[in-house]
Amino acid sequence: MNNMNWLAVYPEIILLGMACLVALVDLFVADPRRTPTYWLTQLTLAVVAGVHFCYFNGAETQFAMQNMVISDPMGHLLAAFAAIATIVTLVYARPYAESRDMLKGELFTLSLFAMLGISIMVSANNFLVIYLGLELMSLSLYALVALRRDHAVSTEAAMKYFVLGALASGFLLYGMSMMYGATGSLEIPRVFDVISQGIPNKAVLIFGVVFIVAGLGFKLGAAPFHMWVPDVYQGAPTAATLLIGGAPKLAAFGITLRLLVDGMSGLAVDWQQMLIVLAVMSLLVGNLVAIAQTNLKRMLAYSTIAQMGFMLLGLASGVVNDNNLSSANAYSSAMFYLVTYVLTTLGSFGMILLLSRQGHESEQISDLAGLARRSPWYALVMSIFMFSLAGIPPTAGFYGKLAVLQALVSTNTQLYLLLAIAAVLLSLIGAFYYLRVVKVMWFDEPADRSALSAPNDVRIVMSINGAAVLVFGLMPDSLMALCATAIVKTLAT
């Protein structure tokens, strides 16, 4: 077959082969801590991240699999970050999973298959490939949520996630089918070309865009398609919650850019209006409802909804008055924001995993009471994560919010200026529930005064995670340059 170009899909081939190998090796592992399986999985993810970074530095855009796959800087950067996020997640999750009889080969195999789905999604150049990657990732995550089969709450969360995830996939697939009916092609570049030339049946296109945006809204967890997020985040085992809330957000961002920017930028006026509505609703629902939460996982779920709203504002400011000169700045700002959000989320849920012990889930905000007296270092690190989510300098979250606001203000249009003002005001509301966590850690009396203990790898990774959130806030230029390079070179193809 012509134009297969196997070199372009080496990372996916490595992931597929190693996921199968890990599943086979685990059958012969007698160690209850699954040490061989764990390290083989981590080595696989590290190699995949390294290969993606090498491809990113090569900065060469290639097509493969009969033009159904694109190998470009944006896809490689997102996949590399997703692999790193999965590595960190498994480090945090291992002690938690071991104490709850979840440390099985399935945890690692399904994590690798979810990562394979993410890698396929961000490198897709065809509607069917996007859907293939999405279903591979989603089915793996459904199974991970249900990994504690004897736990009724986790099983309920898995059912909710499966049903609403299937609904979201149906929305997305139906939207893609309408786009195919209107343009006659499943290839994203061909769809772009047909739309650019002017389409006789624009009504079908608009309906297709509506369903696609709705499906993407589900996957991002944006309001009003957010109903699964709080229940699944709270009900799933915390290790699975982190696997849902970390790397998959990067994949959802990747397919949003592939579908809306690469394929349908000719309809930007239409889908940007939808994104603005989703963004404002997400900021309102997320920030206002989070105030009333006492469960930390549920509060962070509503926080996620608000954070996705802020990121969507960046995506919605790329094309202004049919002028896309500011699109690279807007999309790179949104990408920077999302990467720093994922980095902070890893640490926040990682701290919940660290505090949880045998027979006790540290899910309530009150469980953090007096953490500064039990472990000043962990209290400081958790405070950094909360400050970053609130957008307080000098953390990465502050610079991420600043970058998105700068993208909005630089459009010089009244609508986006009002959106920037609304985003700032709603973020001020959001600061309340983040600072409440800090207050509980530093000023409340602890119920348990015993010192915190954690494995060396968890302690080291947690410290690096906290330092990274601080460093990218003080010196954001390197990460912003990576995001800008990826977006500029992707838009140029």
Contact partners, residue 1, CB within 8 Å, separation at least 6: 66
CB 289 within 8 A of CB 300: no
CA distance 122 to 184: 23
CB 107 within 8 A of CB 144: yes
Domain count, the chain: 1
Q: Report in angstroms the alpha-carbon separations of 254 from 25, 139, 229, 272, 480.
A: 32, 19, 20, 16, 17
| Domain presence at residue 71 | yes
| Domain presence at residue 266 | yes
CA distance 345 to 194: 40
Question: Among 275, 299, 273, which residue's Cα sits nearest to residue 225?
Answer: 275
pTM of the model: 0.94
Residue 307, domain extent: 6-491
* 271 conformational bin, left if phi > 0, alpha if psi -120 to 50, beta if neither: alpha
CA distance 1 to 242: 40
User: Which amino acid, 296?
Assistant: L
Supply the pLDDT for residue 200. Answer: 63
Number of residues that this document lists for the chain:
493
The DSSP annotation for 317-380 comes to TS-BTTB-TTHHHHHHHHHHHHHHHHHHHHHHHHHHHHH-BTTB---BGGGGTTHHHH-HHHHH
Question: Among 16, 17, 19, which residue's Cα sits nearest to residue 37?
Answer: 19
* Paired sense of beta strands 62-64 and 69-71, if any: antiparallel
Q: Which tokens go with 181?
A: 């009916």
DSSP letter at 154 equals H
Instruction: Measure the CA dihedral 269/131/55/86, to 10°.
Output: 110
User: Which amino acid, 20?
Assistant: C
CA distance 259 to 189: 10
CB 147 within 8 A of CB 102: yes
CB 422 within 8 A of CB 283: yes
| Domain presence at residue 442 | yes
Supply the pLDDT for residue 456. Answer: 87
CA distance 206 to 42: 44
Q: Report in angstroms the alpha-carbon separations of 392 from 3, 311, 435.
A: 49, 17, 10
Coil, strand or helix at 146: coil
CA distance 207 to 483: 31
User: Which amino acid, 360?
Assistant: H
Question: Among 77, 121, 62, 82, which residue's Cα sits nearest to residue 487?
Answer: 77
CA distance 442 to 382: 11
| Domain presence at residue 1 | no
| Domain presence at residue 413 | yes
- Walk along the chain (493 residues) in steps of 10 and give the mean pLDDT of each run: 74 93 91 89 95 86 88 93 96 89 89 95 94 94 89 88 92 93 90 82 88 93 90 91 92 93 87 94 94 92 94 89 81 95 94 79 86 90 94 93 93 92 92 92 82 85 94 93 91 77
Q: Report in angstroms the alpha-carbon separations of 30 from 25, 34, 69, 103.
A: 11, 8, 40, 12
Supply the pLDDT for residue 133. Answer: 94
Sign of the Cα torsion 158, 46, 74, 394 reads: positive
